[in-house]
Amino acid sequence: MEKTDVIDSATSAIREGEGLDSSKLNQFLQDSISGLQGELTLKQFPGGHSNLTYLVKVGERELILRRPPIGRKAKGAHDMGREYRVLTALKPVFPYCPQTYAYTEDESIIGCPFYVMERVKGRIVRKELPRDLTYTPEQARKLCENLADVHIALHAVDYKAVGLEDFGNPEGYVKRQVDGWVDRYRQARTPDAPDAEGLMGWLVEKMPPDSGRATVIHNDFKLDNVVLDAKDPLKVIAVLDWEMATIGDPLMDIGNILAYRIQRDDPEEMQLLGFMPPELEFSQTRREMVDYYVNKSHLSFGDINYYYCFGLFRLAVISQQIYYRYYHGQTKDERFAPVIMVVNILCNAAERTIENPVF
């Protein structure tokens, strides 16, 4: 593994229809954050398929701005105030949260609520490793374990002690999640999307009770939502994209991350998804991942297949919501055109899991 000072700086010009009013934004920042000096410039991070992320530079100071996506939004989703609140509350006890600076619901500034936080410089690894970065099999496994350790540390936070006791209702969490994601899929289903009624019926019928343990859950914890130290790419230094965080059952959170894990023996269509670079993807099986969580967190999973199946379906719904915006012309981002294929693959995987349990 090579050490490097290269940072994740893959910004680009702002996409059509996603621009910001730089004059009003600059005034807001000057009023909200002390010590800003210099000209304001804006660029956009092209990654991600949900909330929009911008690099805001004022003189030499670099900030990150997060705002909701353009177009139809699922009820309760893309709440900038919730994202800002959880980051602010967790920062003192969970150092992987970026420092927050300002939040506003004043839509006269850029047309929607938004917040601003620090830019954490480091590595963000996506589907392919940068050419100057390599991992041995042992290092790849260690990185996966380090990711799990950070996730387990989040689940260990006393959410009441940091003022998040009303951030979510843990009682009945599993049922609300299942019922909610089923409803979201039906609301976002387009004519070319899978019917999935059999899958949704199974999830409702086989729903387990809450595990009895309530924690802060990220709800989208995965490799490309963390920042790695540029000089030590085995070390996680920040966790990003908290838009779906809440208080709930950690087993559901782990089921969600299982859905992002691909194995060598998965069907060919699953291999096409490639959520992580192959060097990392195949360093740890789903079973090994679950065993690691069990040993470190002392959680009892019960029916692991259910949580994995739910994670696959939930990821299919998120993909369908993204595709819905493209299908109806609410975004011109051509990255969204093939997302319907992802929806089909994930629904197929969930249905196979029902017929042939993998754990």
Task: Return the beta strands (E) in 154-239 as ranges.
Answer: 215-217, 226-228, 236-239
In b/e form, how buried is each residue of 69-96, taking b as 16+ CB within 10 angstroms? Answer: bbeebbeebbebebbbbbbbbbbeebeb
> What pLDDT does residue 69 have?
85
Query: What are the residues facing 57 on neighbouring strands?
Result: 41, 62
- Using only C-alpha atoms, the chain has a radius of gyration, in whole angstroms, of 20
DSSP state letters, 20-88: --HHHHHHHHHHHSTT--S-EEEEE----SSSEEEEEEETTEEEEEEEPPSS---TT-S-HHHHHHHHH
The predicted structure's pLDDT at residue 308: 98
By three-state DSSP, how is residue 147 classified?
A: helix
> Is domain 137-355 classified as CATH 3.90.1200.10?
yes
Write down the pLDDT at residue 17: 85
236: alpha, beta or left, given left = phi > 0 and alpha = psi -120 to 50?
A: beta
The pLDDT value given to residue 46:
79
CB–CB of 59/37 below 8 Å? yes
Report the run of H or E that residue 347 belongs to, with start and end.
Answer: helix 339-355
How far from 230 is each of 56, 120, 126, 149, CA to CA, in Å?
Answer: 21, 11, 15, 19
- Listed in sequence order, the residues at least 6 apart from 337 whose beta carbon sits closer than 8 Å to its beta carbon are 326
Q: What is the pLDDT of residue 74?
A: 45
Starting at the earlier edge strand, list the strands of the sheet with 40-44: 40-44, 52-58, 61-67, 114-118, 100-104
pLDDT by residue, tens only, the chain of 359 residues: 433 333 445 777 888 888 999 999 999 999 999 999 999 999 998 765 578 999 999 999 999 999 998 754 444 456 899 999 999 999 999 999 999 999 999 999 999 999 999 999 999 998 899 889 999 999 999 999 999 999 999 999 999 999 999 999 999 999 999 999 999 999 999 999 999 999 999 999 999 999 999 999 999 999 999 999 999 999 999 999 999 999 999 999 999 999 999 999 999 999 999 899 999 999 999 999 999 999 999 888 889 999 999 999 999 999 999 999 999 998 888 889 999 999 999 999 999 999 999 88
Q: Which pLDDT does position 7 carry in this prediction?
A: 41
Phi and psi based region of residue 349 (left: phi greater than 0; alpha: psi -120 to 50; beta: remaining): alpha
Residue 298 has what pLDDT? 87
Give pLDDT, residue 70: 76
**What's residue 71's pLDDT?**
56
Q: What is residue 274's predicted lDDT score, i.e. its pLDDT?
A: 86
Domain with CATH 3.30.200.20 in the chain: 22-118
Question: Are 322 and 190 a contacting pair, CB within 8 Å?
Answer: no
- Residue 47's pLDDT is 65
**pTM score of the predicted model:** 0.89
Instruction: State percent of the chain over pLDDT 70.
Output: 94
Q: Are strands 114-118 and 61-67 parallel, antiparallel or unpaired?
A: antiparallel
Cα distance between residue 154 and residue 108, in whole Å: 35
Strand partners, 103: 115
**AA letter at 265:** D
Q: What is the pLDDT of residue 3?
A: 36
Q: How far is CA 351 from CA 18, 48, 202, in A?
A: 37, 27, 9
136-157 burial, b at 16+ Cβ within 10 Å, e below that, comes to eeebbbbbbbebbebbbbbbeb
Domain with CATH 3.90.1200.10 in the chain: 137-355
The pLDDT of residue 5 is: 33
Q: Which fold has domain 22-118?
A: Phosphorylase Kinase; domain 1 (3.30.200)
- Other beta carbons within 10 angstroms of residue 293's beta carbon come to 21
Pair 262, 270: CB distance under 8 Å: yes
